[in-house]
Amino acid sequence: MEKSTSTISTEHAEMIHDVKPDYYNKHVASCSSDRTIKIFEAKDNKFEKIADLQGHKGPVWQLSWANPRFGTYLASCSYDRKIIIWKQVQQSRQWASVYTYEGHELSVNSVEFAPQEVGIVLAAGSSDGFISIHTLRSDGKWESRKEKAHSRGVNAVSWSPVVPGTISSSPSRVRLASAGCDNFVRTWRFDESTLAVTREDDLPHDGWVRDVAWAPNVASPNYVLATGTQEGKVVVWSQNINAGAGWKQKNVPKESNDIVWRVSWSITGSILAVSSGEGTVTLWRESPDEEWRSLSQVES
């Protein structure tokens, strides 16, 4: 079967830091050091720019789409210490800023919306060492809460999936992970009623942890996390969901020591993508002998 590809001329004037498709892959958003966010709409295998969002006063590092069941929400974070949540005006190509948070003291480096089961909840991590939680209340107002997470800056945050069978166990049905410059990834239990996060486990690393990502849970007995470090290491962590046991770790045998900027999972959680400083993206899969190997090795 012939594969088709599309390219997008973003018109950004400076480096692009993040590109995110929405839930249905109908829209793609990009952000840049030029302080703008651009939104594109897919049509006939092409992408047309429909919005140019301007509200940040520094480089925009990361984006996150909310689940569309709540409407079309997009969150952004920036070096300017701001978090902005944008919403598409119903049945139009117009976008509006509906919430701005300026409670962090340094650059906000990461934002991610929680799984749809817990509502419109956004987590953010900042260089000030804090994570913040933001939610849209039933009265239409936004509520926020901030928690000291790391002794040094927070580089990334990631929500766990809601595990099947735990949906009624609120407030303990979803967890958060944060990656810090203090060489730790920390996991947190989230309380939906108070927005509070309770510290659980510390996962030590040899250097700054640049990114962390929970794997989707598809009938797996384990929670699974991937982490990437400043020193170029990638680790996959697993913990039994029901036993409450400790975390087990497996190193991904990445050959290069270049910094790992991003780790991300396929929709089924079976393939791990690693973006490194040398400008490459490598794909990894766990083999039958429970070792992580490059995709070409597993399929050969």
Q: Which of 119-128, 144-153, 197-206, 270-279 has the lowest mean pLDDT?
A: 270-279
For the ranges 92-96, 229-233, 251-255, 295-299, the lowest mean pLDDT is seen at: 295-299
Confidence of residue 277 (pLDDT cuts 50, 70, 90): confident
Indicate the range of 71-85, 87-101, 144-158, 201-215 predicted with least confidence. 87-101
pLDDT for the residue 44 = 79
* Mean pLDDT of all residues in 60-84: 96
User: What 3 state SS string does the chain have?
Assistant: CCCCCCCCCCCCCCCEEEEEECCCCCEEEEEECCCEEEEEEEECCEEEEEEEEECCCCCEEEEEECCHHHCCEEEEEECCCCEEEEEECCCCCCEEEEEEECCCCCCEEEEEECCHHHCCEEEEEECCCEEEEEEECCCCCEEEEEEECCCCCEEEEEECCCCCCCCCCCCCCCEEEEEECCCEEEEEEECCCCCCEEEEEEEECCCCEEEEEECCCCCCCEEEEEEEECCCCEEEEEEECCCCCCCEEEEECCCCCCCEEEEEECCCCCEEEEEECCCCEEEEEECCCCCEEEHHHHHC
pLDDT at 7 over 70: yes
What percentage of the chain exceeds 90 in pLDDT? Answer: 71
Model pTM?
0.91
What confidence score (pLDDT) does residue 243 get? 61
pLDDT of residue 8: 76
pLDDT in the model for residue 244: 65
Does the pLDDT value for residue 123 go beyond 90?
Answer: yes
Predicted pLDDT of residue 91: 72
pLDDT of residue 251: 94
Average pLDDT over the chain, rounded to an integer: 90
Output the pLDDT for position 300: 33
Question: So what's the pLDDT on residue 298?
Answer: 41
Which of 7-11, 98-102, 252-256 is predicted with the least confidence, judged by mean pLDDT?
Answer: 7-11
Instruction: Give the pLDDT mean for 11-29.
Output: 92
